[in-house]
Amino acid sequence: MTQLTHLDADGRARMVDVGGKPETDREAVARGRFVTTPEVVRLMAADDLPKADVLATARIAGIGGAKRTSELIPLCHPLPLTSVRVDFELDQEGGAIEIEVVARTHGRTGVEMEALTAVAVAGLTLHDMVKAVDPAASLTDIRLVAKSGGKRGEWRRDGEAEPAVAPAADADAAASQVPAIVLVASTRAANGVYEDTTGPVIADWLAERRLPAEVRVVADAEVDAALRGAVAERPLVLITTGGTGVSPTDRTPEATAAVIDRELPGVAEALRARGASATPLAALSRGRVGVAGSTLVVNLPGSRGGVADGLAVLDDLLPHLLDQLRGGDHS
């Protein structure tokens, strides 16, 4: 019988020493099922429950649970999570919600417990949100579905489907939409004076969320045409970086205003507030966030720090925004 790694030779609990293991990219997928009634699922989809934004709240709770796993499970190592994605699939006829979490890290130990904890916390939050109308709801079938990275490599539970991909507006749109475009507005980078470093960071972040992106670098004077052309391709997400300041050549906010149908000022203010916590200069950013058709358009500053701050804000918001844009469950 294989020895349990969390027990020493005398059978006492211990924290495994992972100091000698190599750091690798690791991923874990976990799932669970929240069982309620068809009427509750219908109310949830319509945001008509007494506690609104049920799925959005559960998603944020799940992400928070993953981040605090080492505080909840005594022998778990604190992990530098690189991403946590929490998705819900509503089965109104069956009166259930399928929960799926994909957790990733680059480290010396696996991320399975973080994925499982996120499923559990998201499911418990669903129960808290619906208990007033269905106290008999239950959370079942929490299980690890797949993991990769480390010495053992790939593992998948028999009979489980692949993880869900990022949602598109509908089947026809999915066929015509490119997942994401990153537009870098920098005259010097476009002219080869220096190499852009912000676009690849954003593209990597999007790729981790199953939104492969094309990076395009244009001069500030070309940003209007570049934005119009990018929106015409109907990507799910269009993120710009650069050109949001107050210099005469900064045209990204004006170009964005010309292509979006609806503005999301609250998201733009959240981006500025996050940047302002690091530098007061972030208040000078005029970046906009809005929707052009079915495309989410986000302006980020041109600095690496500004991009990092912006992506941190979008980390929790992006799944919810994409769900709303597809006209789904408002999660």
Q: Where are the alpha helices (DSSP H) in the chain?
A: 38-45, 54-67, 69-72, 112-130, 171-176, 187-190, 198-208, 223-232, 252-259, 265-276, 304-325
Q: Which of 47, 53, 91, 128 is catalytic?
A: 128
Placement of tokens 């912000």 in the chain: 198
Q: Is 281 helix (H, G, I), strand (E, B) or coil?
A: helix
Which tokens sit at 220? 């500030």
CB 81 within 8 A of CB 103: yes
Name the nearest CA neighbour of 230 among 287, 198, 183, 187: 183
- Other Cβ atoms less than 10 A from the Cβ of 183: the count is 28
- Other Cβ atoms less than 10 A from the Cβ of 131: the count is 13
What residues are paired with 300 via a beta bridge?
241
Give the contacts of 169 (CB within 8 A, at least 6 positions apart): 177, 294, 325, 326, 327
Annotated catalytic residue 329: no
Strands 262-263 and 289-292: antiparallel
**260-286 as b/e, with b when 16 or more CB fall inside 10 Å?**
beeebeebbebbbebbeeeeeebeebb
Backbone phi and psi for residue 241, each to the nearest 5 degrees, phi listed first: -140, 130
Which tokens sit at 129? 């949100």
Instruction: Determine the Cα–Cα distance for residues 274 and 278; give it in Å rounded to an integer.
Output: 7
Strands 180-185 and 213-218: parallel
What positions carry a catalytic annotation? 128
